[in-house]
Structure 1
């Protein structure tokens, strides 16, 4: 029996020239695949590990977080589509926020499948949500933002957390990214 959750990931080529939306959509897919590429070849147990002392971060926790990013920013904020958030167990952090509790029994493969579903729904909604880039979307965290900000913010989330993923993976088994 193979315990590996994510077998093999091929990252897509990025669009380097084209419309702004083509470049953004391409970069989103590239960052999604890069995150998964850095998680590939690991077991459920490895994805749950928190290898950095005093850190609440695990690769599985980041995967849960990124499915939430997809649903909150690209489903709900970009298109107004009601988001179906998975009911993963959470805990309150020292600063009063929330994070994903690694004692949640949801198998890593199910989290991975949920993440893929969230990403595919985002792709399906992308054109609908980007018809009017100047549309203002109220946001409780940032205030009023336009659609360009939302798209840039999702790329920012992926860039930040892919860096975390690199550090966690290296701490787990010495694998490094690029």
Structure 2
């Protein structure tokens, strides 16, 4: 896997450029971890102690992008791409019959919307709200917080992706 597949973060720049380029680097890293695998490999659970799959990570991160940028920062009410099951659990992790092309298209499309939302924001101090009446949650978040949180979210899951990829075909890398 080559670094040429990723957009490197700016090393000297303002806060917005630093945060957005670092987030894009993390997005590119996830794509790099998935590149060159078959649908079966993307759906596979190569580590017996976990149900994690690379395709599940892609679907999960599409949902995370949707939730934080579209719903919280942009104030939309966009429901999950993959429905909840009868017990109320999100089904993005259930990939046995999932279509990798659909998942990657939704994830890439959602990342594009997220970038547009960030680009259109006046400042990193713009705030949005997360409201969950059922769980009695009503909290405000700044775009600065969301960008930082998204970098953390991707970095954590890219660590998972690295382990999954190595278990699938032995490919290692950053």
2:112 alignment partner in structure 1: 120
Within 2, Cα distance between the matches of 1:37 and 1:90? 30
Aligned length: 165
C-alpha spacing 1:161/1:138, structure 2 compared with 1 (3 Å):
same
1:109 alignment partner in structure 2: 101
The answer to whether the 8 A contact 2:56-2:95 is kept is yes
Within 2, Cα distance between the matches of 1:90 and 1:29? 31
Within 2, Cα distance between the matches of 1:49 and 1:89? 22
Within 2, Cα distance between the matches of 1:87 and 1:30? 26
Structure 2: 5+ residue runs without aligned partners?
132-136
4+ aligned runs moved over 2 Å, structure 1: 81-85, 87-92, 96-99, 132-147
How far 1:146 sits from its partner (Å)?
Answer: 2.3
State the SS of the aligned residue for 2:130.
coil
Structure 1: 5+ residue runs without aligned partners?
1-8
TM-score by length of structure 1 reads 0.82
1:38 alignment partner in structure 2: 33
Deviations 1:59-92 (A, max 9, x none): 0000000101111111211222343632357586
1:72 aligns with 2:64: no
